Structure 1
Amino acid sequence: MKLYSYPPAPSPQRVHFFMKEKGIDLPVEVIDMMAAEQLGDAYKAINPRGTVPALVLDDGTVISDVVAIYRYLEMIFPDTPLLGADAKEQALISEWDHRIEMEFLTAIAEALRNHGRSFKGRAFPGDLDIEQIPELVARGRLRAEAFFNILDQQLASNVYVAGEKFSAADITAFVGIRFCAWIKLAVPEEMVNLQRWLLAVSQRPSMAT
């Protein structure tokens, strides 16, 4: 197997942390997203979506969705399960990981990609050229800030996002909070539950970049 990645970006970073937490070591080729290498012919011959990450299996199969990569790696490397050990854990982790991605990460991306020259004509990832809508910046920030509250409330009665065990949902939330720095948002100090969790997760050896 071979992973095509760009670890500074949020989606590749999720897979990067997932692999570190499970102790998975795979060959990695860095695709320079700052130079738009993901949109070049060479990479698109591997992943026509023009998105990163992409996991290429030994038989040539390409998996280019973060959660799909999670699921494949979890099956191949079952030690240190991060997607749940029973039906209830799997359901809760899947629910929270999906919510964080759709309600939090997409909100941050909305605020980021609709602002500034760096994403001009590139308001969405991949091969589709879409113009920015500056009015979406404020909406994205409001959505991201609102999700801080959701996470803080969830962590009031849970050690980790989806329960008592560290999971893929925590990785996605942690990456999302780091991603917030790109739009100059930080977790408010008064959100003590989220602050407690953030400190604990940031001290995990696997979460160091």
Structure 2
Amino acid sequence: MLERLDFSGLTLNHMARVAKAAWNSTVRAAALAIAKDRADARATAGRPCWKGPTMPMLFFDCTTAPNPRRVRMIIAEKRLEIETRELSIANGEQLSPDFLAINPRGTLPVLVTEAGQALSETVAIASYLEDLHPEPSLMGQGAEEKAAVLNWNAVIEQQGGQAIFDAFRNSHPAMKGRAIPGPADYAQIPDLAERSRQRVNAFFELLEARLQQSPFIATNRFTLADISCFVMVEFARVIKMRIPQGNPATLAWYEHICERPSASV
């Protein structure tokens, strides 16, 4: 069982040790040792302490980036309270040695699980939270729905998100030398940016065709696929592209999603 824990005393160094230990057989001992030290200190100060065999979760976020926003929407839809650490991609905090010890890819988001495992892929985080907190379901119910959600989420990521990211990273001045996320530097390719903008136009047409057939992206209700699509459509503003006014089904879907409380996170 978990009791409420304030993570304010936990440093990135501590979380790095826990996450690294998750990749070998000593993860539990390391996690327990760190948590016990923290709990002892907090107990001495008369503050709430962790008393369970697992650690509370910790979410590494960046409010300006799209993929962390997808996780924030999942957390909001499930009405969860997860301790969060904000990192600035603009300031390169995701490339600090402390954070690279948690996620060597240097990308966000990251969710450190109750067992100390660092999850760095949005779908993996969504699946983990869905298993722990099944309601409301965002990953589908039953074989057909689950397959549809994963299928359409992949379509959104590959046909929409990747195109938007490539257009942005290969054209924006702030991304010079940072055309691919992670610890390595890559030069921008202007031709790729232009091709990616064409792909975004095709993505908007794909969405319109789909939403003329279905009220939501994957099924007849709101799922992870809608979260991913909404975030990608909103992020397209960075390349000055919006839903075309001639796409009424997509515009209606977008306005409907905007009404959800999670859309404001």
Report the equivalent of 2:79: 23
Give distance in 2, aligned partners of 1:190 and 1:79: 36
Whole-angstrom distance in 2 between the partners of 1:94 and 1:24: 22
CA distance, structure 2, for counterparts of residue 103 and residue 126 of structure 1: 21
Post-superposition Cα deviations, 1:154-198, rounded to whole Å, max 9, x if no partner, equal: 010111011211000000000011011000001111100001100
Instruction: Flag as ranges the 4+ runs of structure 1 deviating above 6 A.
Output: none
The residue type equivalent to 2:103 in the other structure is: N
State the partner residue of 2:137: 81
Amino acid aligned to 1:4 = F
1:5 paired to 2:61: yes
TM (normalized to structure 1)? 0.98
- Whichever of the two has the greater Rg, that structure is 2
Three-state SS of the structure 2 residue aligned to 1:28 is strand
- Is residue 55 from structure 1 mapped to residue 147 from structure 2 by the alignment? no
Matched, 1:40 2:96: yes
2:173 aligned partner: 117
Q: State whether structure 2 residue 261 is matched by structure 1 residue 208.
A: no
- How much has 1:47 moved relative to structure 2? 1.2
Tell me, yes or no, if structure 1 residue 158 matches structure 2 residue 214.
yes
Q: Find the counterpart in structure 1 of residue 14 from structure 2.
A: none
Alpha-carbon distance in structure 1 between the residues aligned to 2:187 and 2:74: 33
1:185 has 2:238 as partner: no
- TM-score, normalising length from structure 2? 0.77
User: Which is worse superposed, 56-65 or 180-189?
Assistant: 56-65
Gaps spanning 5+ residues in structure 2: where? Answer: 1-56
Mapped contact 1:7–1:16 kept (Cα < 8 A): no
User: Which one is further off, 58-67 or 141-150?
Assistant: 58-67
How large is the RMSD of aligned CA atoms in angstroms?
0.9
For residues 94 and 116 of structure 1, what CA distance do their matches in structure 2 show? 31
Give the aligned partner of residue 187 of structure 2. Answer: 131
Identity %: 37
Separation of aligned partners in 1, 2:74 and 2:182: 23
1:66 aligned onto 2:122? yes
Q: 1:115: how far off?
A: 1.0
Instruction: Tell me, yes or no, if structure 1 residue 106 matches structure 2 residue 181.
Output: no
